[in-house]
Amino acid sequence: MLKQWLSLLLLTFITSALLAAPPVQSPANYAPGDPQVCLGCHGATGMKPAAGILNTPHGKKGHPDSPMNKHGCQSCHGPSAQHLSQYVNGKPAKPTVTFNGDTTPVDAQNQSCLGCHENNARSHWDGSQHQFAGVSCTNCHQVHKSPDPVLFKETQKEVCFNCHQDKRAQMHKTSAHPLVDNLMTCTSCHNPHGSATESLLVKGSVNETCFQCHAEKRGPFLWEHPPVQENCSNCHQPHGSVHTPMLTSRGPWLCQQCHMAGFHPSTAYSGSGVPPNGAAQQMLSKDCLNCHVQVHGSNHPSGVRLTR
Ligand code: HEC
Ligand code: HEC
Ligand code: HEC
Ligand code: HEC
Ligand code: HEC
Ligand code: HEC
Ligand code: HEC
Ligand code: HEC
Ligand code: HEC
Ligand code: HEC
């Protein structure tokens, strides 16, 4: 009993000590004279230089919603009068919003940007995989620099690879989309700010995403192949594969994942089905596709078995 009382007392003490601490972050006052006053200390050189932002879209006054037409630097860093007037341990009190350290929670950092950008491509940010995983806008964007690498095809994927290393390896496999050549990039298929689909796809489904460029696979077909209508990734690995063309596995095993019976031998074809042990047409050359050439669907009146 005494122990419990003591710990309660200790808890009360700690809480009141916390409450009594100076409210460094809270005073919501804008420092006047921004941005000039800020640049006085954070100019082009010297301590934590910040003038670079003046050469980016955020530093220009052209757009009515530009930070420079709002509260200057404090449009992003929050009302920060305390940073100029208060000192903590001999250093200026932090601005209300900082992006580099541990002082501002990630959601609050992101809100600072979303105040101006929660539109268009960003309208699904809340609830997206990136938001949910605590990724911040500034994990991908560098706003004090121009150009911002993530906005360009040549440099974007390197930003993604910081966290999605496996995709770099896949991109280099024998059969892959031309990402290495910068003809495509991650945002050809993904919206990193969130989307209405799983896997942050730019369109409403995997297939709709692929049809942007492979429209001929959409059909309609007289004889459809159900797994194609369902999801291209039943058979394809969009990030790259060792099985040309980007197949999830090699034929005939690809087909045999779903087709084990039928009028053909219903056993799984294996390596013994090649010479000298007897050649099965289902193993050689294009295996099942020797005969079933129209694997995405057929428009031939007698193409019911996808053979023409
Ligand atoms: C009198 C000089 C001075 C002025 C004026 C000044 N700062 Fe600072 N600022 C500093 C110092 C010193 C630091 C480094 C503090 C530290 O190391 O904790 C700093 C740090 C910062 C940081 C980095 C904080 C962090 O932890 O990442 C930001 C952001 C910042 N200032 C923004 C501003 C803004 C916005 C203004 C204008 C409203 C401004 N500063 C005006 C001196 C100044
Ligand atoms: C569009 C939002 C935005 C505006 C406007 C803005 N900043 Fe920043 N600032 C950031 C972000 C984000 C970072 C974190 C670094 C990065 O991602 O580029 C940052 C970082 C900083 C830092 C820390 C740099 C370091 O080396 O640790 C300072 C200092 C700073 N800003 C000062 C300023 C000053 C001064 C201005 C006005 C001239 C300003 N900022 C305007 C968003 C902004
Ligand atoms: C006060 C409003 C405001 C705030 C706050 C703001 N932005 Fe912007 N941002 C703009 C405007 C205006 C543009 C220019 C739009 C244009 O030119 O069409 C812009 C442009 C951009 C661009 C495109 C830059 C380019 O090179 O084309 C990116 C990326 C961006 N903002 C990210 C951010 C991030 C990240 C934050 C938070 C750290 C942020 N913004 C905070 C208003 C804001
Ligand atoms: C996972 C990386 C990532 C994160 C996190 C991210 N972005 Fe982006 N952002 C991008 C990429 C990539 C583009 C370029 C889109 C394209 O090319 O289609 C972009 C484009 C933009 C643009 C438009 C630039 C233009 O020229 O149209 C704005 C504005 C923007 N982002 C703001 C934000 C804001 C605000 C956040 C945080 C809520 C954020 N971004 C979080 C990767 C990211
Ligand atoms: C040709 C379109 C396309 C391109 C380009 C693409 N992706 Fe994907 N990505 C997809 C599809 C489709 C899925 C969903 C796969 C599924 O549902 O089976 C996916 C899933 C993912 C996933 C989640 C599942 C997994 O495999 O880990 C991540 C992470 C991912 N992509 C990252 C990236 C990155 C990073 C890049 C750029 C290097 C990229 N993607 C380029 C189409 C693409
Ligand atoms: C700061 C680290 C980080 C960066 C940078 C980053 N991501 Fe992510 N990404 C994550 C995390 C964490 C998740 C959620 C956990 C997971 O599914 O891996 C995620 C999830 C995803 C998913 C959905 C995965 C699924 O399972 O549905 C896709 C797609 C994706 N990221 C694409 C991208 C693209 C494209 C870029 C570059 C523009 C990028 N990411 C940059 C950390 C990052
Ligand atoms: C932005 C356009 C674009 C999107 C979206 C796209 N692709 Fe592609 N795809 C290409 C290009 C370009 C090639 C390379 C063609 C070449 O090398 O001749 C290609 C090649 C392929 C190939 C290999 C063709 C071959 O002959 O080796 C397959 C399979 C493929 N894509 C499947 C998909 C799937 C599945 C999706 C959806 C997840 C998809 N693609 C989304 C543009 C796209
Ligand atoms: C049942 C498995 C399967 C599904 C599902 C599937 N494909 Fe294919 N795909 C293949 C096979 C097998 C090949 C190789 C054809 C060949 O070698 O003649 C191929 C080849 C391709 C090619 C390159 C050659 C060509 O025909 O242009 C593209 C592009 C392609 N598929 C896109 C798609 C798209 C887009 C989808 C979704 C609408 C899809 N595939 C769904 C099995 C499939
Ligand atoms: C993800 C499962 C799946 C994969 C993988 C798959 N199929 Fe199919 N396939 C089906 C389904 C489901 C049907 C429709 C069966 C039905 O209507 O009874 C079908 C129908 C067919 C038909 C027409 C048969 C009929 O009864 O009308 C042929 C031929 C065929 N597939 C060949 C292939 C070939 C060749 C491959 C490999 C390139 C393949 N399939 C890969 C699921 C798959
Ligand atoms: C030598 C040519 C040839 C090869 C190789 C071949 N098939 Fe067939 N397959 C046919 C023909 C012809 C039919 C149609 C028979 C009919 O209509 O009675 C057929 C029918 C089918 C059917 C429908 C059977 C049913 O019971 O309704 C499926 C499923 C199928 N094939 C899958 C495959 C798969 C999977 C492979 C590879 C492992 C394969 N085929 C290899 C010629 C071939």
Pocket test residue of 228, 254, 255, 263 for ligand 10, highest count of atoms within 8 A of CB: 263
- Closest ligand to 290 CA? 10
**What was the pLDDT predicted at 237?**
98
Handedness of CA 298, 303, 305, 308 (dihedral sign): negative
Domain boundaries, the chain: 49-150
Please provide residue 68's backbone torsions phi and psi, each rounded to the nearest 5 degrees.
-70, -15
Pocket test for ligand 3, best of 58, 99, 156 (most atoms within 8 A of CB): 58
The pLDDT value given to residue 41:
95
70 lines ligand 3 (CB under 6 A): yes
- Which residue's C-alpha comes closest to atom 37 of ligand 8? 232
Which atom, in ligand 1's list, is nearest to the CA of 73?
A: 35
Q: Within a 13 Å sphere around the CA of 41, how many CA atoms are in the beta-carbon half? A: 9
- For atom 37 of ligand 7, the residue with the nearest CA is 210
The answer to whether the beta carbons of residues 139 and 148 sit under 8 Å apart is: no
Q: Could you report the per-residue pLDDT of 213-270, keeping only the tens digit for each?
A: 999 999 999 999 999 999 999 999 999 999 999 999 998 889 988 987 555 654 555 5
Q: Are residues 154 and 182 in contact, defined by beta-carbon separation less than 8 angstroms?
A: yes
DSSP designation for 95: P
Phi, psi of 227 (to 5 degrees): -65, -25
268-276 contacts at long range (C-beta below 8 A, 24 or more positions apart): none
Task: List, chain by chain if needed, residues with CB within 6 Å of any ligand 4 atom.
Answer: 110, 113-114, 117, 122, 125, 130, 135, 137, 139-141, 150-151, 156, 187, 192-193
Determine if ligand 1 sits within 6 Å of the CB of residue 33. Answer: no
Give the global pTM: 0.93
Q: Cα–Cα distance between 122 and 56 in angstroms, integer?
A: 20
The model's pLDDT over 180-214, given as tens digits with 9 standing for 90+, comes to: 999 999 999 999 999 988 899 999 999 999 999 99
Smallest CA-to-CA distance from 27 within 83, 70, 101, 91 is with 83
User: What is the percent of the chain with per-residue pLDDT over 70, rounded to a whole number?
Assistant: 83
* Three-class SS state of 169: helix
286-307: per-residue pLDDT in tens?
A: 888 988 999 999 999 999 999 9
Q: What angle do CA 72, 87, 111 make, to 5 degrees?
A: 40
DSSP assigned state of 212 = T
Which residue among 235, 284, 288 has the greatest number of ligand 10 atoms within 8 angstroms of its CB, and so is best to mutate?
A: 288
User: Which of 109, 141, 200 maximizes ligand 6 atoms within 8 Å of its Cβ, making it the mutation to test the pocket?
Assistant: 200
Assess whether the C-beta atom of 100 lies below 6 angstroms from ligand 1. yes
Report residue 125's pLDDT band, with 50, 70 and 90 as the boundaries: very high
Structure confidence at residue 5 (pLDDT): 41
Residue closest via CA to ligand 5's atom 13 equals: 199
What's the CA-to-centroid distance between 129 and ligand 2, angstroms?
Answer: 26
